Amino acid sequence: MSGAGLLVAVVTVALIFDLLNGFHDGCNAVSTVIYTGALKPRFAIGLSAIFNFVGPLVMGVAVAKTIGGVIQAGDASAHLVIAAILGACVWEILTWLWALPMSSSHALVGGLLGSGVAALGLGGINWSKVILVFVALFASPFLGIVTGYILMRISRFIFAMLRMDMARADRFYKRMQILSSSWVSFSHGSNDATKVMGIIVIFLAAREGLGVTDYVNQHGFPYWVILACAGAMAVGTFISVRSFRLIRTLGERITKLHPINGFSAECGGAIVIQLASLFGLPVSTTHVVTSAVTGTGLASQLGGVSWKVFRAIMLAWVVTLPFCAAVAAIIYYILELFM
């Protein structure tokens, strides 16, 4: 296949993953706002798609550079990049069928590690970057629980101080959820869409025998990559109205949600994701938002959290990285054998 053909193949597969990411994770921003009755499903998802598109355009590409640095890009091949993305795509589809929220970040990093080790050996991985990514991925759920818990306590204190009954509090926080869910969508786009940008730039840099940092220093970050990935994320989010099985898991199966829970969880999750994007740290929107929802349940009472559902989600998170790494390695060997 020609150089242009390989570029088209890499970009196509990357945008398919981005679309699946939006489709799978679109529920994270809208599940609480839909199940508390603050917004109708189609309007909520349409609003989410808009902010998912705007997020990466405003926040920049710091996360993309971090993801791009996981692999020694100068030695990367199209087969390596395609296998990494396809390994993550398989898990995206399976967890959607099982109605389990999953980490697209874990899936993508797992795919990169699997195909990277298969193609380049252990020396082809920038382990300092991998450690940085792992720290961000594993710390963010705990921060999500803490921020969800704290904001829920603050919100409850405010409406108690104002002597609101639950009906008045519900009306107030329903309106506030329009802002908080939009913030989650903006944060999701600014973090998740940029991860796929980093994958594409790995291949662009490899074509010139450069590392990602050297390529960006010489050529700048391609604007067409930013627009394409932001657009694919927005389209995937818009069609996530069909993934109500995931919306139901986050919206009603973890804990009973009132608008005050939804607002607190969304703000808590958005704070963590936004800070991570500013520092170029890839995090899982699924991890953070699910944890923030759990934190709001804890702020009410321990019995308010469905630990059985939470454990099932945690198991999916643990399995994600090794599964995607194994599948990506297998796909890489198949591509090398037949193409």
Q: What is the C-alpha to C-alpha distance for residues 130 and 270, in angstroms, rounded to an integer?
A: 24
Q: What is the C-alpha to C-alpha distance for residues 66 and 113, in angstroms, rounded to an integer?
A: 14
- C-alpha dist (Å) from residue 11 to 15, 16, 79, 180, 337: 6, 9, 12, 32, 22
Q: What pTM, to 2 d.p., does this model score?
A: 0.85
**Would you give per-residue pLDDT tens digits along the chain (339 residues)?**
667 788 899 999 999 999 988 887 766 667 767 777 777 778 888 888 999 999 999 988 889 888 888 888 777 889 999 999 999 999 888 887 776 667 777 888 899 999 999 999 998 899 988 898 888 888 888 898 899 999 988 888 887 787 777 778 778 888 888 888 899 889 988 988 898 999 999 999 988 888 888 899 999 999 999 999 999 999 988 887 665 555 555 544 445 567 888 888 889 999 999 999 999 988 888 778 878 888 887 776 644 555 555 565 566 667 888 999 999 999 999 999 887
Tokens matching residue 221: 């970050």
Q: What's the chain look like in SS3?
A: CCHHHHHHHHHHHHHHHHHHHHHHHHHHHHHHHHHCCCCCHHHHHHHHHHHHHHHHHHHCCHHHHHHHCCECHHHCCHHHHHHHHHHHHHHHHHHHHCCCCCCHHHHHHHHHHHHHHHHHCHHHECHHHHHHHHHHHHHHHHHHHHHHHHHHHHHHHHHHHCCCCHHHHHHHHHHHHHHHHHHHHHHHHHHHHHHHHHHHHHHHHHHCCCCHHHHHHHHCCCHHHHHHHHHHHHHHHHHHHHCHHHHHHHHHHCECCCHHHHHHHHHHHHHHHHHHHHCCCCCCHHHHHHHHHHHHHHHHCHHHECHHHHHHHHHHHHHHHHHHHHHHHHHHHHHHHHC
